[in-house]
């Protein structure tokens, strides 16, 4: 079991619900744009969001941003401990910084003390693409794990234990191996993800494999899907991964749909897409099937609460395997939604 770490109003680790994270891709100095994006992320189900703080103006903006959201905000800092201090003063709920990159050890000590007094945790984020030269020759997974533990030791030396760790690479297999290794060597909560995963479809697949494999192993206390796309999609993707591995807590509607074939009588893709959008607005546990034909549809969707099976001109709406309505094909969507609402 990992340690618990509090990030604002969210606790991760120690068996707590797995928190979904994302990161804004607006300029942090664009307060209005960033606040707007944070609101969209939160509405999509994001628990914790990160903003880059590359300079002092961004730290100033962060103070305004933090006041405009109820989500805990993580400040992403590279190297400069003074920016980390400024971000802490601005109200950041966590600082992402690698202590080994801060430089002079007295600066690490200063920052550790400063954050400890304010109960602000640090995430150590090791990235396989920017490892120190001294790890050359080591397999990537071992190198990432070693590097993370070295950063940890630096903080522990200053009696700082409020730590979250990530060891990400764009290489899925090494990412998974590194987290597995790390989970055996320490009990700090792990922020899991595959970094620089790529554009939407590619990033989705890499993240689902990497994060999914780790979650199946019981590894991971908070997740971030990295996509070269709208960060809101990262949140949806993270939630889908959690659902797929049975780690999503709370009620949700699940839509299953058949792959379509020569027997297909209705626009399965169009209907399933619309029902999926509708399902996202529901907060009840219901499994909905959209099946292309009556021949196999009802039988194949056993285990669903409700569904449609397509016919030539008319289709059937079924509930727990029994037909409850027959509708014209252009009325499927409306009737299905009505029946779902009745459940």
Q: Which residues bind ligand SF4 (CB under 6 A)?
A: 258-261, 263-264, 291-293, 295-297, 300
Q: Which residue's entry shows tokens 């009325």?
A: 331
CB of 286 to ligand SF4, least distance (A): 20
CB of 308 to ligand SF4, least distance (A): 11
Cβ closest to ligand SF4, residue 137 vs residue 259: 259
Residues found in the chain: 343
CB of 182 to ligand SF4, least distance (A): 43
* Cα–Cα distance, 312 to 6 (Å, whole number): 56
Cβ closest to ligand SF4, residue 100 vs residue 297: 297
* Cα–Cα distance, 128 to 171 (Å, whole number): 8
CB of 294 to ligand SF4, least distance (A): 8
Cβ closest to ligand SF4, residue 68 vs residue 260: 260
Cβ closest to ligand SF4, residue 109 vs residue 292: 292
- Relative orientation angle of helices 105-117 and 81-90, to the nearest 10 degrees: 10
CB of 296 to ligand SF4, least distance (A): 4
Cβ closest to ligand SF4, residue 261 vs residue 323: 261
Please answer whether residues 319 and 341 qualify as being in contact, where contact means their C-beta atoms are separated by less than 8 angstroms.
Answer: no
Cβ closest to ligand SF4, residue 231 vs residue 292: 292
- 3-class DSSP assignment, residue 51: strand
Cβ closest to ligand SF4, residue 75 vs residue 288: 288
Burial class (CB in 10 A: 0-12, 13-18, 19+), 153: exposed
CB of 48 to ligand SF4, least distance (A): 40
Please answer whether residues 282 and 253 qualify as being in contact, where contact means their C-beta atoms are separated by less than 8 angstroms.
Answer: yes
CB of 289 to ligand SF4, least distance (A): 9
CB of 291 to ligand SF4, least distance (A): 4
Can you list the positions of beta strands (E) in 259-300? 286-291
Tally of CB atoms within 10 A around 328: 11
* Cα–Cα distance, 138 to 88 (Å, whole number): 35
Instruction: Name the residue number minimizing CB distance to ligand SF4.
Output: 292
Tally of CB atoms within 10 A around 130: 11
Please answer whether residues 55 and 81 qualify as being in contact, where contact means their C-beta atoms are separated by less than 8 angstroms.
Answer: no
* Cα–Cα distance, 288 to 304 (Å, whole number): 6
Please answer whether residues 137 and 179 qualify as being in contact, where contact means their C-beta atoms are separated by less than 8 angstroms.
Answer: no
- 3-class DSSP assignment, residue 99: helix
* Cα–Cα distance, 85 to 80 (Å, whole number): 9
CB of 295 to ligand SF4, least distance (A): 6
Q: Please calculate the CA angle 71-77-80 and round it to the nearest 5 degrees.
A: 145
Beta bridge partners of 224: 21
Cβ closest to ligand SF4, residue 181 vs residue 304: 304
Cβ closest to ligand SF4, residue 152 vs residue 258: 258
Q: What share of the chain is helix, strand, coil (3-state, %, to 5)?
A: 45, 20, 35
């Amino acid at each position: 079991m990992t340690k618990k770490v509090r990030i604002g109003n969210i606790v991760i680790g120690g068996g707590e619900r797995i928190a979904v994270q994302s990161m804004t891709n607006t300029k942090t100095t664009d307060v209005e744009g960033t606040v707007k994006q944070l609101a969209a992320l939160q509405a999509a189900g994001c628990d914790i969001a990160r903003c880059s703080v590359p300079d002092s103006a961004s730290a100033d903006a962060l103070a305004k941003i933090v006041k405009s959201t109820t989500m805990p905000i993580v400040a992403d800092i590279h190297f400069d401990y003074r920016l980390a201090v400024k971000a802490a003063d601005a109200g950041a709920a966590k600082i992402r910084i690698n202590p080994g990159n801060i430089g002079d050890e007295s600066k690490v000590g200063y920052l550790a003390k400063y954050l400890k007094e304010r109960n602000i945790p640090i995430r150590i984020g090791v990235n396989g693409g920017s490892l120190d030269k001294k790890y050359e020759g080591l397999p990537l997974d071992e190198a990432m794990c070693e590097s993370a533990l070295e950063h940890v030791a630096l903080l522990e030396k200053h009696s700082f234990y409020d730590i979250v760790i990530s060891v990400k690479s764009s290489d899925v297999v090494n990412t998974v191996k590194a987290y597995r290794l790390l989970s055996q060597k320490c009990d700090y909560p792990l922020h899991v993800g595959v970094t620089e995963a790529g554009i939407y479809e590619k990033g989705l697949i890499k993240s689902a494999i990497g994060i999914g494999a780790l979650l199946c192993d019981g590894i991971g206390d908070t997740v971030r899907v990295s996509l070269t796309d709208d960060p809101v999609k990262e949140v949806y993707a993270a939630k889908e991964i959690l659902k797929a591995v049975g780690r999503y807590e709370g009620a949700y509607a699940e839509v299953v749909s058949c792959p379509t074939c020569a027997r297909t009588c209705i626009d399965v893709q169009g209907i399933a897409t619309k029902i999926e959008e509708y399902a996202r607005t529901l907060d009840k546990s219901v499994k909905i099937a959209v099946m292309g034909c009556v021949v196999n549809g009802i039988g194949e969707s056993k285990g669903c609460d409700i569904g449609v099976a397509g016919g030539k001109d008319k289709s059937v709406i079924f509930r727990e395997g029994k037909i409850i309505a027959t509708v014209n094909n252009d009325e499927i969507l409306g009737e299905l939604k009505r029946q779902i609402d009745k459940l």
